[in-house]
Structure 1
Amino acid sequence: MDVILLERIGKLGQIGETVRVRDGYARNFLLPTGRALRANEANQARFEAQKEQIIQRNEERKADARQIGDQIEGKTFVAVRSAGESGQLYGSVSARDISEIIGQEGYKVGRNEVALQQPIKQIGVHDVTIALHAEVEVVVKINVARSADEAERQAAGEDLTSYEAIYGIEEAEEVNAEEVFENEEDAEAVLAEGGEPVDAEAEAESEEQPS
């Protein structure tokens, strides 16, 4: 679909340019949000007649976006989700979810303004870009955790997907030679020799052979 842009949009073009975009993108985002008009003679004439007002309105939108951006830039938002021991989410955190989470803290961010390439499927602290305007982008942190307590630990820098976090440092340190080798004789050989386990029977035979 050909549209007339009413504001500068990323790599599409500048205000007043006629560009071709996907029909879904135009119908679901550009047209309903007032960022573009369907390209035809009537709308072209309308744009030319209202060009100054459109430019002024765009500047006001940019100022509003900058104000919101200044408030949320670098801010951390927590998403509590169910996940397995490895940190893999049973579901995911989508752009819509992030929009709602930010909205719950009093900031208006549309789903289409959340620049998420694919849903988040792992616990952790994730950087997410929020495109509030073609000329205003900020980055927020989405702290995805299994509980508020875990979110605090992650915010402090703890990796809850590490081996130590999953199984406990104590368990990791308690692994000893008896657990690694199949029998006590092998383990004792390693402890005694400080290297590879020796074959006790073969050693005994070698000792019996005359030198």
Structure 2
Amino acid sequence: MPQTELILLQRVEHLGQMGDVVRVKPGYARNYLLPQGRALRANAQNRARFETERAQLEAQNIKRREEAERLAERMHGLSVTIIRQAGDSGSLYGSVTTRDIAQAATEAGLTIGRQQVELDQPIKVLGLHDARVALHPEVSIGVTVNVARSVEEAERQARGETIGEEDEDEVETFGAEVESDETPAEDAQTEA
């Protein structure tokens, strides 16, 4: 399969550092790296241009990384709450997406795009989940995503209470009351 040679203009995770010449599939280059300004095609003209602008690009990268590090320190331990409908078992009707997390983080004071949010797996159940926000290719922070049915439930989850057990206790108590009501009724029928 043909590959395209590119010069990276910034660090790209799982690919390389700034200035590296890498070979990637044409679609990855055409649809992601080139439009986002993360790379240049590796031809003679672009190689010369990169070498003349290298110091400036490195200085810009260092400045952006320092800004991201300051922001990461300020936003350390960020937790966002997302209210969703869910079934009795705690399964969501749908899932929480990177767009939902980015919107909740923006409301909490951290303006980010959905492309910056990284999830290990889709969020499809109630509870506390971990997500990662890439502020810079070399700086990321952890964000706790609290998915609940209501604000009160989210507060209980944040304190470490398990939501499902309380609901089960209420069901057991209700069941015990029904059983005790049936027993006197049966005794009355037996006596009559």
TM-score by length of 2: 0.80
1:91 deviates by 1.0
Structure 2: distance between partners of 1:77 and 1:22? 37
Do the aligned partners of 1:143 and 1:154 also contact (CA within 8 Å) in 2? yes
Cα deviation, 1:65-116, whole Å, max 9, x if unaligned, reads 1122122221110111111111101011111221121112231222222111
Q: Secondary structure of 2:172's partner?
A: helix
Q: CA RMSD in A?
A: 2.4
Partners in 1 of 2:162 and 2:153 — Cα distance? 10
What secondary structure sits across from 1:121 in the alignment? strand
Judged with a 3 Å threshold, the aligned counterparts in structure 2 of structure 1 residues 70 and 25 are, in CA distance, closer, same or farther, namely: farther
- Indicate whether 1:52 and 2:55 are aligned: yes
The reply to whether residue 41 of structure 1 matches residue 48 of structure 2 is no
Q: Secondary structure at the match of 2:100?
A: helix
**Corresponding residue for residue 19 of structure 1:** 22
- Structure 1 residue 4 displacement after superposition: 1.4
Confirm or deny: 8 A CA contact 1:29 1:112 kept in the other structure: no
Output aligned runs, 1:66-77, within 5 Å: 66-77=69-80
Shift of 1:175: 6.7
SS at match of 1:138: strand
How far, CA to CA, are the matches of 1:33 and 1:159 in structure 2?
43
1:151–1:172 distance in 2 versus 1, CA, 3 Å: same
Using the aligned pairs only, state the percent identity. Answer: 47
> In the alignment, is the contact (CA less than 8 A) between 2:120 and 2:131 conserved in 1?
no
Equivalent of residue 68 in structure 2, options 41, 65, 68: 65
Q: Is the 8 A contact 2:34 2:40 kept in 1?
A: yes
Distance (Å, rounded) in 1 between the aligned partners of 2:104 and 2:60: 28
1:31-180 to structure 2, matched below 5 A, reads 31-160=34-163, 162=164, 164-167=165-168, 169-172=169-172
Distance 2:39 2:160 in 1: 43
- Give 3-state SS (helix, strand or coil) of 2:80's partner: strand
Check whether the contact 1:72–1:140 (CA below 8 A) recurs between aligned residues.
no
Structure 1 residues 6, 142: CA separation in 2 closer, same or farther (over 3 Å shift)? Answer: same
**What are structure 2's unaligned runs of at least 5 residues?**
184-192
Q: Deviations over 1:4-27 (max 9, x none)?
A: 111222231111011133455444
- Write the distance in 1 (CA, Å) between the matches of 2:109 and 2:26: 32
Distance 2:58 2:98 in 1: 29
1:5 counterpart = 2:4: no
Letter in 1 for 2:154: A
Any unmatched runs of 5+ in structure 1?
185-211
| TM-score between the two structures when normalised by the length of structure 1 | 0.73
**Counterpart in 1 of 2:186?**
none
- The count of corresponding residues between Structure 1 and Structure 2 is 176
Structure 1 residue 173: deviation in Å?
A: 6.1
Q: CA deviation at 1:38?
A: 2.9
Question: Does the CA-based 8 Å contact 1:5-1:16 persist in structure 2?
Answer: yes
